Chains A and B, each alone.
Chain A
């Protein structure tokens, strides 16, 4: 079947007919502040850009000589072209004289506050397609200028003026700008009254026709709105639906209403149940031709999908968190904990029994890898074997939880989910040298068992939380690297697609903390889960009101808006330093330019002297540029300068705003809104809404992740999707039991590890009964542990650890090139692989270039959240283990360790088995190994290997073989 959801990049919209995306009254709000009690709009100024002063709609306009604008465009006039639709003489005079080429108009002497802008534009010959921006923000996308003579009054566009001026520009095809009309306040763009005859025609012929044939699917009363098109008000019809404007006055060609009723194109035939009569079609055509007079001025809107919260919350993941009764089981001697009782009860339902207990060696290998991502050392294994107390395993678990290696392992699991990367992901993939602070914060948070609720608050709003000490404040700022870490896109600055970065943020917030796929609601109400587009933009406003740091991009290559890690009292002081440095740099650069110019113009005999001066000045300027600022910074967020709600973006297109949505939480989870007097982005509140006692999701989602990394599979097998497209839990009661314990136990992650690992369920052998394997191939009921392959990091770290080559000192920042040298473009994107002996969590990870090793072994995808690692098996992995120099080097080091362990082969073989498999070698293995060593020795002899190297080389070959074994990369 076809893909059942149409999430798509907004760029796809331009694949639609460009002609379709224009609208006479496409209103774009640049201002979305409160609108209550606004005074009525009043006419402020009209500008006839290439003509004399005129009077239009009773208002006096200034002519081309006005002092209130600056425009260097060329002038053009052709008063002979008949206008469509026709209009009064004064307006026609204004329209048919225009400016073009360059298309930049600076409007000055404006009143500060809210103004409304209308732009009159016309076409003198062939249709052109262009976009219009005000102050660099696009207000109209891909407007089609129509056939010769067609004109439009574009707008209204609401602008908040701060410094008495705005700049209006266009991009794309040649636009003819005729006049600009400015109103104080918000003017909704009414037109002159309708002539009585036209009104009668509309009421008698058009309105009944629309009501009868169109309203069922295209009005506010429609059960389900089709094509996002409303035909029950003037503004809605002109704005149009998903494919463009339904009504373009005077323009049959571009009025999709006419296209549809004519039944000429297969793609658009309306009404769907049969073509209208010829007379009806002729009426509609006439209506458009005379300018589509329409008295239905009250704008309509479709309320959108309403969520029935009570019904929606019947879905398993949204039901209130419960503390289910622990079941009675028949096999009552087996359970050691409540977890075991839930598990055995399910097994008994299916006539199965749990597996035997894993032997101690298997168990400690499993536990050590689970908690630290490293193998147990032989002495740790022996200590555990020797400890016969009932608390022996608990002792091991506590020791492992206290190890700094624990945070490196579990921090990595979190970094998978938050799609951590050390680069930005724009087309040039700019490096972010400060990003490692967030990585280190995550690792430290796991190590100190930061309660999960605090962990969530810090990442979403740490910058707003303050702290008792500077260190605490700084750590919380660094934690918001979670948000800063959202992906960057493209190469450009002025039309940077911030909506994609916000989408990436929301997508991750949804999956990460709530197990919900929010981004489906960007373009349309979620098809499966109770999330509406309004929910999405309610959250969007929060991140729209958040300032993201700028990591650098092709067309603006330097960092900005990073957060200084300085005490608040000194912030102003440091900002002054930055500012004065900026001025000093500008002065020095100016000096360089001045000297360069002087040298160019200078007579020959003075050139040498000036060249020397220039060289000196260049050095001074470069020196300052190289000097880092006197404080550290974090790749973190802050409150934006403008805190505001945003409108819905129709079809996910930021240039097609719908209704304004207050910043708020998902309606199905309570729909809490910010208080009326809130002047913050709302991130702090968002964290509280997420963690609210009534919200069952965060506890369920997080305990499921913890469970997942102890059993290879979550109780919910889709850890990032607790919605209808995900898979429900096999053990819903156990999930709630754990989630309740997690919440009530102060959100302690380490306590959750203990609870899980001390159960008999966890300590089962991975050898399941064949009947259990047959009945439950995926091992959902857990009649035994699951066999798990080590992940990419564990394989590499284990080899490094066994070879004694693992560097456990703090890894710190990556050796990126210094910022002042950055010149990355999409042609020469940043790309690097840094060698390291540190644990793999510290490898430099690029957003858009996979690390060559991690890519081979199913490492996390740094461009999107990775809820669970794949475990593919490919010949490229085998080739890596056969031939990669890293593997050969670690084999060499491990072999020398083994050889140093004793002089007897058997002792060495035993030691090798202890190191790699945490067990002694079996007799049959010893004899195979003896055969191997003998054969290897003769091969090496035959190849004239120097005698003193033969022993080392045959043991290296032996270790290489062991590194390739399933037993080495799988945990039982």
Chain B
């Protein structure tokens, strides 16, 4: 099934083999005697979960700006009827009473399950048998910045580790030649780098931001004019470092640092390969709506996400849009169409591709946003920020496809049943990875911190 098994197999094997695989020829040319064997400690070595995991990795898709729930995944027939006739929560920050605005798109059932999805997402609609929609998600803040921070860290005001960092910390990674947590963020989201920051967790759990283009990871591009010269430099450093180490009582810090150069050396080769979608077939490219040679756009992000998943990257975040250009339609909801068009086919393509390769069985795909939008109007034909209820979905490993969880009231203004707070959402994602959100703790500044603070309940109803 996998047309490019060599990518990840080789990378992972290399990563797991340990010991010095670095240029044995060069070492012998620099040295008369043999290099002393070194015991390596890998801080990112895979760690067993608390319970058997359903998902081995996560692709976390975040749509910036606040996607309207009543125009996408939460059908509100009453809102169509009440258009312009009644008032409801509206205005920029959902704190005013405004005339109701009907959704701009018709809803149709998708898949055998018949989950209703609007015409904004015709491709995803066909995938609904694999998707569990949550219609009762809710958060604490109606500002982009704070809601975005909350969706990523569980904290709406203070910087805390990102969910990706927590997952990396909890599970490690199977391929230490690539970062365990990669954020494909061509543009900066709200709250900036904080949303993929490790904060107080050790730095190896930091999300590595990938912009795309020639140097997807900072300092990845070999600057020495020749590969041979860089290898030689590393060979010399290896010899001298090992000599330095041999005169000192075993020190894992020193040996881990020697190892890190080897990893970095391989990353220079492996990482660009992982990002090179040119190696994909035309059929695969078209599944994501990509043209050959294209190395940007949301389709590129989705396809790279699959390739990184194959390479064993633990947590892959896709940032859709930016803090400047995004789903924040205060003035005219019609602009949602362009944003939906950008992500609909690539996301459906990602699900189909993962499924065809058998990877959807152990890959969790999450799509979310920082909040929904108001039933009442904002501006001329837009909607305001609304964190009281909004929609998101999960698909893949351990998720009961074709289901809908929770409901909002007739207008989509408040949660009517089975509310799912952001903390619950996080608890559920961790649960699918075999992590108990109450036990995934890190001691910092005198107390044990959790992603879910003192909250969080796993949403059992959407699990298989």
Contact = CB atoms under 8 A, between A and B. Distances in A.
Contact of A726 (B43, B225, B446): B446
B146 interface: yes
B324 interface: yes
Contact of B218 (A2, A7, A8, A852): A852
A559 interface: no
Interface string B132-173: 000000101101111000000001111100000000000000
A827 interface: yes
B193 A720 contact: no
Nearest to B387: A14
Interface in B95-113: 95, 97
Most buried by A among B26, B177, B244, B245: B244
Given A873-B256, A878-B264, A883-B219, A928 B31 contact: yes
B448 A1 contact: yes
Contact of B29 (A517, A721, A935, A943): A935
B211 to A, nearest CB: 13
Contacts of B225: 943, 945
Given A2-B450, A491-B145, A966-B257, A829 B192 contact: yes
Contacts of A827: 144, 190, 323-324
A171 B221 contact: no
A829 B189 CA distance: 10
B269 interface: no
B303 to A, nearest CB: 24
B45 to A, nearest CB: 14
Contact of A491 (B143, B423, B445): B143
A12 interface: yes
Given A720-B445, A878-B264, A882-B265, A961 B450 contact: no
B143 A490 contact: yes
Interface in A852-876: 852, 855-856, 858, 861, 863-864, 870-876
Contacts of B250: 773
Contacts of B324: 827-828
Contacts of B450: 2-3
B254 interface: yes
B449 A3 contact: yes
B447 to A, nearest CB: 5
Contact of A882 (B159, B208, B230): B230
B254 A966 contact: yes
Interface in B258-278: 258, 260-261, 263-265, 267-268
Interface in A870-928: 870-885, 888, 924-925, 927-928
A849 B193 contact: yes
A712 B346 CA distance: 50
B119 interface: no
Contact of A7 (B32, B257, B447): B447
Given A9-B157, A961-B240, A876 B218 contact: yes
B253 A500 contact: no
B21 interface: no
A872 B29 CA distance: 32
Interface residues of A, number: 96
Contacts of A720: 445
B269 to A, nearest CB: 12
A732 to B, nearest CB: 19
A879 B446 contact: no
A928 B239 contact: yes
A520 B455 CA distance: 17
B454 A3 contact: yes
A271 interface: no
Interface string B13-42: 000000000000010011110000000000
Given A826-B145, A827-B323, A873-B260, A5 B191 contact: no
A141 to B, nearest CB: 12
Given A848-B191, A863-B159, A928 B253 contact: no
A861 B199 contact: yes
A11 B157 contact: yes
B240 A925 contact: yes
Given A12-B156, A826-B190, A870-B202, A725 B447 contact: yes
A826 B226 contact: no
Interface string A949-972: 000000001101110111101100
A879 B450 CA distance: 31
A858 B203 contact: yes
Contacts of A848: 159, 191-192, 194
A325 interface: no
Contacts of B287: none
Nearest to A504: B158
B240 A967 contact: yes
A721 B236 contact: no
A773 B249 contact: yes
B201 to A, nearest CB: 10
Contacts of A880: 218-219
A427 B145 contact: yes
A6 B454 contact: yes
Nearest to A772: B249
A770 interface: yes
Most buried by B among A9, A497, A828, A967: A9
Nearest to B252: A873
Interface in A1-36: 1-9, 11-12, 14-15
Nearest to B257: A873
A681 interface: no
Interface in A926-941: 927-929, 931-932, 935-936, 939-940
A957 B202 contact: no
Contacts of A927: 32
A962 B239 CA distance: 11
A171 B156 contact: no
Most buried by A among B199, B248, B447: B447
A768 B249 CA distance: 8
B155 to A, nearest CB: 6
A379 B200 CA distance: 41
B10 to A, nearest CB: 18
A262 to B, nearest CB: 20
Interface string B84-104: 000101000001010000000
A876 B421 CA distance: 35
A528 B447 CA distance: 10
A872 B260 CA distance: 11
Contacts of A768: 249
A928 B224 CA distance: 21
A925 B32 CA distance: 12
Interface string B426-464: 000000000000110100011111100111000000000
B89 A876 contact: no
Contacts of A852: 218
A765 to B, nearest CB: 11
A924 B145 contact: no
A174 interface: yes
A776 to B, nearest CB: 12
Nearest to B202: A872
B260 A878 contact: yes
Contact of A725 (B138, B156, B229, B446): B446
B237 interface: yes
Contacts of B421: 15
Given A828-B323, A962-B240, 5 more contacts: A2-B441, A3-B438, A3-B453, A491-B145, A961-B237
* 5 nearest A-B pairs in the assembled complex, by CB-CB distance: A725-B446, A878-B264, A872-B203, A427-B145, A879-B219
15 contacts: A4-B447, A7-B447, A9-B158, A767-B248, A787-B251, A789-B253, A826-B144, A852-B218, A878-B264, A882-B265, A928-B240, A931-B29, A943-B226, A961-B240, A965-B244
Interface of B: 26, 29-32, 43, 87, 89, 95, 97, 138, 140-141, 143-146, 155-159, 176-177, 179, 188, 190-194, 197, 199-200, 202-204, 206, 208, 217-226, 228-230, 232-237, 239-241, 243-245, 248-251, 253-254, 256-258, 260-261, 263-265, 267-268, 323-324, 421, 423, 438-439, 441, 445-450, 453-455
